[in-house]
Amino acid sequence: MNFFKRTIPLTIAFIMGVIMTFQYYVPHEASQSLLKVVTRWGITIAGFAVFIGVYSLFHLHWNKIKRKVPGWGYSTFVFFGAGITIIFGLYNGGEFFLNDKQEGTMFDWMYFNVQIPAGATMFSILAFFMASAAYRTFRARTSEATILLVAAVIVMLGRVPVGALIWEYLPPLADWIMSVPNMAAKRGILIGVSIGAIATSLRIIFGIERAYLGGGD
């Protein structure tokens, strides 16, 4: 079993990793065709992640219901919501899922009248929590925290139209904070993350990093 669970996946990762690394630098027609085929395969395989996601979600919430953990009642809504959506999605306005997508179906109605308002509501709740957190926890305890606090207030006011009415230099000051100190910090983080990603990719290609195979080790 170790051969199927370890050796074959590691060999595939190594061969494909090396081939696709070289492919990037070879502008030959055959190389471009290979890229097209491999990315199409990738798109097809990525589609199967949906099934894993659905299985994982159902498994998690089914266990919550079975064990009657606090708040298990909410988990029933996962099955209720997913069930209804899947049924109407497959029903496709009476044309069923093998035909092209129909317009004005019950699935569309649920998307526009349930998912969109629910999503917007969840997002809008952030404003309330952010205001509460700003009042209760954002304190100038150290010099670094004070700099952060002053910058936050300037950016917060300078990035909305009322900022210019409060003080005409607020918007340009906010822009300077964003395009100089913020940009420098973000670029540093970006370079660090990119180098880390390259290192992790090499570790995966050469079989040193095996966490993606699952099962520990």
Partner 1 sequence: MERLLRIDRRIIFIFVAIAVTLPLLIRFNLPVTATKDVKSIYNKINSLPEGSHVLISFDYDPASKEELQPMAVALLHHCFKNNIKVIGMTLNPGGSGLADSAITEAGKEYSRKYKEDYVFLGYKTGTELVMINMGENIFSAFPKDFYGNATVDLPVLKGVQSLQDMDYVIDLASGSSIEAWIAFGKEKYNFDFGGGCTAVIGPDMYPFLQSKQLTGLMSGLKGAAEYEILINRKSTAVAGMSPQSVVHVLVALFVIFGNVLYFMTGRKK
The binding site for partner 1 (CB under 8 A) comprises 32, 35-36, 39-40, 42-43, 46-47, 49-50, 99-101, 108, 111-112, 115-116, 118-120, 122-124, 127-128, 130-132, 134-136, 138-141, 149, 152-153, 156-157, 159-166, 171, 175, 178-179, 182-183, 186-187, 190
Burial 46-76 (b: 16+ CB within 10 A, else e): eeeeeeeeeeeeeeebeebeeeeeeeeeebe
Q: By C-beta, is 10 or 153 nearer to partner 1?
A: 153
Residue 5 in contact with residue 213, Cβ under 8 Å? Answer: yes
Q: How far is the CB of 44 from partner 1 (least distance, A)?
A: 8
Tokens found for residue 175: 């822009």
Tell me how far, at minimum, the Cβ of 187 lies from partner 1, in Å: 4
In the complex with partner 1, which residue's Cβ is closer, 65 or 164? 164
In the bound state with partner 1, the residue whose beta carbon lies nearer, of 4 and 128, is 128
Q: Residue 1 carries which DSSP code? A: -
Other C-beta atoms closer than 10 Å to the C-beta of 217 total 7
Identify which of residues 156 and 195 has a Cβ nearer to partner 1 in the complex: 156
Q: Among positive and negative, which fits the CA dihedral 43, 48, 51, 55?
A: negative
